[in-house]
Structure 1
Amino acid sequence: MPDEPSDAAPDAPRFRDKPVSFVRRSGRMSEAQERAWAELAPFYALDVPRDVASTSVHPDARLVPAETYGRTAPLIVEIGSGQGHAIVSAASSRPDDDFLAVEVFRAGLARTMLDADRAGARNLRLVEANAPEVLETLLPEGSADEVWVFFPDPWHKSRHNKRRLVKDGFGAVAGRALRDGGVLRLATDWEDYALQMRDVLDAASELERAFDADGDAWAPRFDGRVMTAFERKGLNKGRDIRDLAYRRVARG
């Protein structure tokens, strides 16, 4: 169920009016993760004004990338960064680009900060927030060069499909955040979700395929995505990994 604020005004809405693509599960962080949060969050984690829920983004909240990173550089945003393996690898190997990890699970963010600090990735920031609200509100329009959605929760039971991140309307949400010519990259090991992603994004007027335009084609594996244990697990279970890539069309 959606998460609930602890300090909402009595007459304020207490829940989101749309399903989210995650469920907040309680879980204790390890001692190392607690220490990482205390020591590293002041640098890596963005302090985001909240709306009605603990992972929400206030409608007036805005990220100014040049102020956050102290420079003007291409910005890559990963949605659902998990433990941070993909984005830390990318950030540490691409020092001329800036990276933003979006995740709702604090233990994963703490692990990401630990690994980023060890790798010396100072071009990475993290935000603990619901991804659509980051794309719709926090990021300035046209500020992202790329948006990555790698292995989002498939919510494979049909009654839970409404919780999927990539569904009708997501093309407009991602397209708002992307600059003209920017790229949305996706990957999943669930065939039916891959088909849904392709149908949804093919229908989005803001986007066009950045791969073979034939109807049943898939994009080649993105070589900027490090092989993670999560992806390897899907392969070991015999599931095919399907990639997609879409380019933001020029605004009128």
Structure 2
Amino acid sequence: MDYRIIGDSCLDLTPEMKEEGKIKIVPLTLQVDSVEFVDDDSFDQKKFIKAVADFDGCPKSSCPSPEDYKKAYGEDEVTAFCITLSAELSGSYNSAVLGQRLIEEKFPNKKVYVFNSRSACIGETLIALKIQEYAEKGAGFEEIVEQVEAYISRRHTLFVLENLDHLRKNGRLTGMKATLVSVLNIKPVMMGTPEGTIEQCAMGRGTKKALKKMVEEVGNRVSDFEDRVFGISHCNCPERAQYVKEEIEKRYPFQRIIVADTAGVGTLYANDGGIVIAF
């Protein structure tokens, strides 16, 4: 089966995935004050981080248009699978679904499916890899949809951030959680819920202790390690990502571990020093 995999730009690609070029990214647009950053290959993470640090207000993100998704699906009859940010956190999913309707009107025989990741960053990446795995095995459209939706329902996303302000200011968290971080150097371990919202699941005094708590949470949630790929997204902190990778390797026999730097959307919300894991 000929197929395409499309993701919004919160899907973080590893260097190897970028080189392979099998996943097409549809960029969101980020705005800091009056300056716009397109979350594509031109995105400069360090310049963006500095712009955010120098800005007193709240940076914003804008999802791709339905036309952007329509174009990414391809004006032909090649099957397309799309992965977006959690529908509870962004309008990207709804825009992708509208784009699906537009392309199916023009090509009634074309098969398109949009996966609500109920996650972000490396959580989206793992879904793309799962689609690719089933497609390369020769699975049909319906089987891929069924199996990947089942995978999404049992996949977990956790994260530790240096600063929760951007999530709070954009309405993704309550003020209380962000206040805890700044007052007592308490770093919450946050999780994506099955519905795709964000909740706190643990906490530590300082980042290193919070990362250890996060690693411990992995063992509390799954036992079928050999059947799972473990993913890490980091925002400008490869040393922390390496620390988490080594701690995971000591404790759990995952099938493999992949590491990616955050693209623009992940950088906006994870902020400098943030770590996101999915498994």
Instruction: Report the structure, 1 or 2, having the larger strand content.
Output: 2
Would you say same fold, with TM above 0.5? no
TM-score normalized by the length of structure 1: 0.32
Q: Whose RCO is larger (CA < 8 A, sep 6+)?
A: 2
TM-score normalized by the length of structure 2: 0.29
Instruction: Report the structure, 1 or 2, having the larger helix content.
Output: 2
